[in-house]
Every structure is written in structure tokens, then in C-alpha cells.
Structure 1
């Protein structure tokens, strides 16, 4: 490995350090050249002075945007530099040169059409804001897995190729598998239930699912990442909601603590719910929408996007960024219909966070005779 440290680990007045990364920005002021170098962890300023290091100053004259460089030097405190520190170089090396001119700008906030971004995706991915999406996602998944590991859940990986679907054949992607008809996995649901019957008791999977269905919003795509959980020996759906609430609260706390830089880059004000999540019935949700906002979903058995946003506003005003809606009337067969003493239409629920459906869950019917 090339000897170096990340820019975020450079401390002023420390011993000589080595960093490496892409040239993010160049400012030539005559006898002074400022390079802003970018690595995965951030930016750092390198100051080349002609009178101090003439050979290095001469070498840096040919540097271009997005060149990959390695710099060794003395870190110094600087109020004007990113992160309050800059490097006075003693060694400078160009590891790789970038083509010029670049098809899109990395360092400046310039609008670029989607086709140009996709045609040059390797460059587009270098933008700090884009990288922040991936690192933020990584922090979130790590935190979720930590919580479930600590609670004794088994981490599973289910097949992505199957002979049939879990939720209806019309939404499946057909493929040819060694001259046999097969499908991309639509859901790990049947595998998870098989594991419950096999005594695994509590499992989770960070995986991928495929849905061959039309979509009109960014929340419905053909290939999706899913965090799936299944657990046995529960009293009712409230136990499942407890799991979702506790795991989400833990994950958000970890992200807030460990991904502050990414949240700042994306201008995200992460709200970690400290109080218990409110739990309302579907009928109560409709009543709030109609009474306070004059809104009623076109489909009387489900919440629409506008309804979720309005409910999000309602509960955020009360200090609750997250809440549950329980008992969808069109979800009866699998989610325990006609349970003695049940006053809700079903034991299916949605978890809504800041006006968006974050997850769904419920207690499935397990009585074979009733099914």
C-alpha cells in the first residue's frame, strides 16, 4: 500500500505526513500555487511557494484538475484552509493524469443534465455530495446490522433466483436459468418464513429485490435494496413495531454521531426521535387528514403520498418525526383477520418518518386452518 493518511487525520504542527488524492481545485497566484486535494474523507490545501521549494513549484505548473497526486510535507495551522490546516510540501508526485478538458465539473456547483452525468458516471461519483450518499448509506446499514447482531438475530442471505414469486407472478422478471424458466427474486419472504418454521427464531437480511412493475416516482424502482427482518414467538404486531422503533432509533443515533460530515454536505438535519413513536389506527389517520387538512385519499383502503406527507407535518408539529399507522383494511388475509378482541382491520402497519413511508410490517396469519 502507498504510505499515506486521510486528509481528515492531518493535524497541524504534527510530524511530516503523506496524503494522496484527486486535485479538486487549483489557484495560481504567480509565485504561489494552492492545490486543494480531495480524498474520500475530505479536502486539504497544499501551498507551493516558488521561493521556498523552486523545484516542486516548477513541477506543479503542469498539474490538472482531477489528476491523482501524492504529497509529503509539514502540516501547518491555517484559518483560510479547509479544516484549518494546510501542508507545506517536501515531496510531490503525479500518480496519474486526467484528460483535459473534463466533460463535467467536479469542484464547482454547476448544473449538469442527467444524460451527461450518466455518460460520465465515474467522474460524477467523485463529487463529495454523491460520495456522501454512499458513505451515509454504509453508516446506516452498519448501525442497523449492529443492533440486530447485538439482539441475537441471524444474518441470512437468500437466493436471488427462484422458480416462483412471493407476491404474485405479474411483477416478476423472467430469466433463463440453464434452459429452465426462472425469475429474479421479488422478496425473501417465503425463505424467511421457512426459517421461522425451521427454528431460526429471528433473522435479518440486507439484500436486493426486483420488481417488474411500472413506477412513476423515485420511491418505486425495478431494483431495490431491502432490509428484511422476520421473528417468531411474538405476542402480536406491537412486538414487531417495538423492534422497528428501537432499531431505527439506534441507527439514527449512530449516523448522527459518525456521519456528521456527510449530513452537513447533504444539508440534512437528522432528527433522532427520543420519545415513543405514536401508534394510530388507519381510521384515525384518515380522520386527521380529513379534519385538519380536508384531504381524503382516492383509494379509501390506503394512504397516498400526499396523505403521508400531511400526517408527517401533523406529528412533527407535536415533536414526533416518526409514527406508526396500524390496521390497513385491505390487508386482511395474511395479517390476521377477525382476531377476538381486535378492534383494528388488520395487523399490518407502516412506519412513517418525516412524511415518508420508511418500512412496513405486521403479524402474519399462522393458523393453517384459518388460512
Structure 2
């Protein structure tokens, strides 16, 4: 490994340091050249003086933006330098040079459209603000996974190739699997439920799902990062919501406490929901939209994007950045619905955070006879789900779960306009590279 420390660790109390990174900025003032070196953790200023180090000064005069360099020198306190410290160099080495001109500006705050940024993603990912998005993402997911590990959930991995989809329809990506037709996974849900029948009791998965939707929105992509959870021996859907609420609050709190540099770069005041998340019925949600905003979703069985945003405003005014909507009508066969004694149509819920749906979940139907009847009512081809029906036929405990969109969580937490900004290399109907 090349001998170096990160820029964030440079301390004026040290006798000598070595740093390496990209040349972020160069300022040539005649006999004085300031070079800002950037690595993953920040920036450090290196000051080359012609009178003090003539050979190094001559070498640095040919430096270009985004060259990769290594600098050795004495750290010196400086109020004018990033982080309050600069380096007086004793050695300077160019590890690689960058082509010029750059197709995308890294150091200057220049507005560039998202398409251009994604076309030049390798450079865009170098920007400190972009790097902050993915550092924040890592913090959120590490905290989330840690919570589930500590609670005794089993980390699982389910197939990305399947015979059918949990939801079916035109949203499936067909592939050729040897000599048979198959599909990319829409969701690991059916496999999570099989594991509940198998006695695993509580599982989670950080994985990928695919949706073949033809869209042009700021909140959809074709390849989705998902955090999926399933737990057994529940009383009802509220047990599932409890798990989601506690785990999300924990992840957001950890990020707020430990990712201050990233949040500052993104100019975000991360909202951590401290109070219990409100839980309203679907009918109550429609009533709020009608009475307070005069808004009527086009589909009377679901909330639209505008409805979620308006409900987010409603609850934000009451100090609640996150809330649940429970009891959607006309749900899929795998949700418990039309249960005697329930005042809601189904035990399916959505979690909305900062005005956008982050997850869907609920209590599943574990009685195979009722599930098959629901399949027949929906016109579902049972032949595609024989493995699933059979697995649940040999005794399945009451269970439920949810799938949380990681990309949407990062989008909301980082205050991004478009979900593609939350994904290193996003895929949509028109983008298959880089």
C-alpha cells in the first residue's frame, strides 16, 4: 500500500505527513502555488514556494486538475486553509495525469443538468457533494443492518432469477434461462414467506429488484435497491410497523449523529422522527386530502404522488416527518384482507417519509385455502406459484413484512431532487451505461 493518511487526519502537531489524492484546485500566484489535494475524506492545502523548494515548485507548475498526486511534508496550522492546516512540501510525486479539458467541472460550483452528470458519472462521483450522498447511504444501511443483527434477524439472500413474479404483469423483465423463460426478481417476498414457513422466524435482506415500467419520473428507476424484512409469530400488521418504525428511527439517528460532514456538504438538516409515527387508515388519508387540499387521487384504491406529498405536508406541520397509511383496498392475494372484525379493507400499509412512500408491507395471508381463493378471485395463474403454495401448506405461522426502497430513503435523507442521484450507476428505460 502507498504510504499515506487521509486529509481529515492531518494535524499540525505531527512532524511529517504523507497524503495522496486528486488535484482539486490550483492557484498560481507567481512565486507561490497553492494546490488543494482531495481524497475521500476531504481537502488539504499544499503550499509550494519557489524560494523554499525550487525543484518541487518547478515540478508542480505543470500540475493539472484531477491529476493523482502524493505529497510529503510538514503540516502547519493556517486559518486560511481548509480544515485549518496546510502542508509545506518536502516531496511531490505525480502518480497519474488526467486528460484535459475535463468533460465535467469538479471543483467549481457550476450547475450541470443531471443527464450530463450521469453521462460522465465517473467524474461526477468525484465531486465532494456526490461522494457525500454515498457515504451517507453507507452510514444509513450499516446502521439499519446493525439494528436487525442486534435484534436477532437472520441475514438472507434470495434468487434474482425466478419463474414468476410476486406481482406479475408487465413489470417483469423476461430473460432466457438456458432453454426456459424466466424473469428478473420483482421482490424477494415469496421467498421470505417460505422462510417463515421454514421456521426462520425473522429475516432481512439487502438486495436488488427490477421493475420493467416505462416511466419518466424523479422517483422511479428500473433497478432498485431494497431492504426487505419478514417476521413470524405476529399478532397483526402493527407488529410489523413497530419493527419498521424502530429500525428506521435508529438508522436516521445514527446518520444524524455520525454523518455531520456529509450532511453539511449536502446542506441538509436530517429529520429524525422522535415521536411515534402516526398510523391512519386509507379512508382517513382520503378524507384529509379532500377536506384540507381538495385533492382526489385518480385511482380511488391508491394514493398518487401528489397525495403522498400533501399528506407529508399535513403531518410535517404536526411535527411528524414519517407516518403510516393502513388498510388499502383491492390488495394482492398475499395480504390478509376482509378479516372479520377489521375496520379496514386489508392489513397492508405504506410508510411515507418526507412526503414520499418509502415502503409497502403488512400482514401476509398464511392460510393457504384463503390465499388460493384470493388468487382465483384475482385471476392469478396458480401454476406459476405452485412452489409457494406448497411451501405454505405444511404449517405456516402468522407473519408479515415489508420492502423498503433504499434509493428513496437516501433521496429523502439527502434532500435530492431525483432518485437517480442516490444511485451510483442508475438504470432507467433509456440508460444502460455507464
Question: Residue 305 in 1 paired to residue 297 in 2?
Answer: no
Q: Check the 8 A contact 1:68/1:96 in 2, yes or no.
A: yes
Taking only aligned residues, the RMSD between alpha carbons, in angstroms, comes to 1.4
User: Aligned partners of 2:343, 2:91: CA distance in 1, in Å?
Assistant: 74
Please state how far the C-alpha of 1:225 moved relative to its aligned partner.
0.5
- Structure-2 residue corresponding to 1:168: 168
Of 203-212 and 5-14, more deviation after overlay is shown by 5-14
User: Aligned partners of 1:261, 1:210: CA distance in 2, in Å?
Assistant: 33
Which residues in structure 2 correspond to 1:1-371 (within 5 Å)? Answer: 1-331=1-331, 333-371=333-371
SS at match of 1:21: strand
User: Aligned partners of 1:44, 1:95: CA distance in 2, in Å?
Assistant: 18
SS at match of 1:112: coil
Please state how far the C-alpha of 1:288 moved relative to its aligned partner.
1.2
User: Aligned partners of 2:301, 2:351: CA distance in 1, in Å?
Assistant: 17
Q: 1:144 to 1:126 in 2, by over 3 A?
A: same
SS at match of 1:38: strand
User: Aligned partners of 1:27, 1:88: CA distance in 2, in Å?
Assistant: 15
What is the TM-score when the length of structure 2 is the normalising length? 0.83
Q: 1:5 to 1:277 in 2, by over 3 A?
A: same
**Number of aligned residue pairs:** 371
Please state how far the C-alpha of 1:113 moved relative to its aligned partner.
4.2
What is the TM-score when the length of structure 1 is the normalising length? 0.97
User: Aligned partners of 1:314, 1:202: CA distance in 2, in Å?
Assistant: 34
Please state how far the C-alpha of 1:169 moved relative to its aligned partner.
4.1
Please state how far the C-alpha of 1:2 moved relative to its aligned partner.
0.5
SS at match of 2:297: coil
User: Aligned partners of 2:241, 2:132: CA distance in 1, in Å?
Assistant: 30
SS at match of 1:369: helix
Q: Check the 8 A contact 1:332/1:346 in 2, yes or no.
A: no
SS at match of 2:316: helix
User: Aligned partners of 2:368, 2:160: CA distance in 1, in Å?
Assistant: 28
Q: Check the 8 A contact 1:332/1:345 in 2, yes or no.
A: no
Unaligned regions of 5+ residues in structure 2, if any?
372-434
Unaligned regions of 5+ residues in structure 1, if any?
none
SS at match of 2:91: strand
Q: Which has the higher contact order (CA 8 A, sep 6+)?
A: 2
Of 202-211 and 324-333, more deviation after overlay is shown by 324-333
User: Aligned partners of 1:53, 1:13: CA distance in 2, in Å?
Assistant: 22
Of 352-361 and 106-115, more deviation after overlay is shown by 106-115
Please state how far the C-alpha of 1:114 moved relative to its aligned partner.
4.5
Q: 1:65 to 1:332 in 2, by over 3 A?
A: closer
Of 351-360 and 325-334, more deviation after overlay is shown by 325-334
